Amino acid sequence: MRLWGRATSVNVQKVLWALAELELDIERIDAGGAYGGLDTDSYGAKNPNRRVPTLEDDDLVLWESNVIVRYLSSAYGRRVLQPNEPKQAAVADQWMEWMQTTLSPVFIALFWEAVRKPPSQRSAERVAQLADEAGRAYAILDARLADTPWLGGASFSMGDIPAGATLYRWFTMDISRPDLPRLAEWYDRLSRRPAYQATVMTSYDALRGFD
């Protein structure tokens, strides 16, 4: 099994986290960002979008991070990452999709503005606006977590991975954040998982913009 993608990408971290939870061996190949490699013909044949991550498992080639997490959960993690009951699996899947459609766009925009841009190019007003928008999205998670300890239900599952992969940066960026106690408790639970510590709670200093 091979995975193409730099370990500092949140989308790659989702996959690395799932692999670590399942204790699966993987060969990771640095690609994207400062590593480049996405414009080669060989990579384009694997992933026509020329983005990361891309997973190769024998003759199967997959891209789109949430799809890869679902595949790993189904193929290797039934009753571990994928709930066995279809309704519970659908709820977990729902929160995976929500991360892509609702949280990810504003989270990525905020991370670029607050971290990746050089300080001289950042707009404090724009950072505050995006932090407020992201806070409203995270408040939806906070409300969900009032009813259950994990997004998919009573147990940790694939549903926690996409949104959970953003939390380390959300809680460590130099931004204003609303008081969302249940979100903070969820983050604390995730932070105690060795797989999360190893794959998500890692430095993103290499991505910082400098003047």
- Domains of the chain and any CATH numbers: 2-76 (3.40.30.10), 86-196 (1.20.1050.10)
Provide the pLDDT for residue 78: 87
Do residues 192 and 166 make contact, with C-beta atoms less than 8 angstroms apart? Answer: no
The number of angstroms, rounded, from the C-alpha of 40 to the middle of its chain's C-alpha atoms is: 25
What are the b/e assignments for 107-144, b being 16+ CB within 10 Å?
Answer: bbbbbebbbebeeeebeeeebeebbeebbebbebbbeb
Positive/negative CA dihedral, 27, 18, 169, 102: positive
Confidence at residue 132, expressed as pLDDT on a 0 to 100 scale = 98
Q: Could you give the residue ranges of the DSSP H alpha helices within the chain? A: 10-21, 41-46, 65-76, 86-98, 104-111, 124-144, 161-164, 167-172, 181-191, 194-199
pTM over 0.95: yes
pLDDT of residue 76: 96
Please name the residues in contact with 112: beta carbons below 8 A apart, sequence gap of 6 or more. none
Helices (H) and strands (E) in the chain, counts: 10, 4
Q: What pLDDT is recorded for position 134?
A: 98
Do 92 and 74 touch, CB atoms closer than 8 A?
no
pLDDT tens, position by position, 107-123: 999 999 999 999 999 99
pLDDT in tens, the chain (211 residues): 999 999 999 999 999 999 999 999 999 999 999 999 999 999 999 999 999 999 999 999 999 999 999 999 999 988 899 999 999 999 999 999 999 999 999 999 999 999 999 999 999 999 999 999 999 999 999 999 999 999 999 999 999 999 999 999 999 999 999 999 999 999 999 999 999 999 999 999 999 999 8
N-to-C CA span, the chain: 39
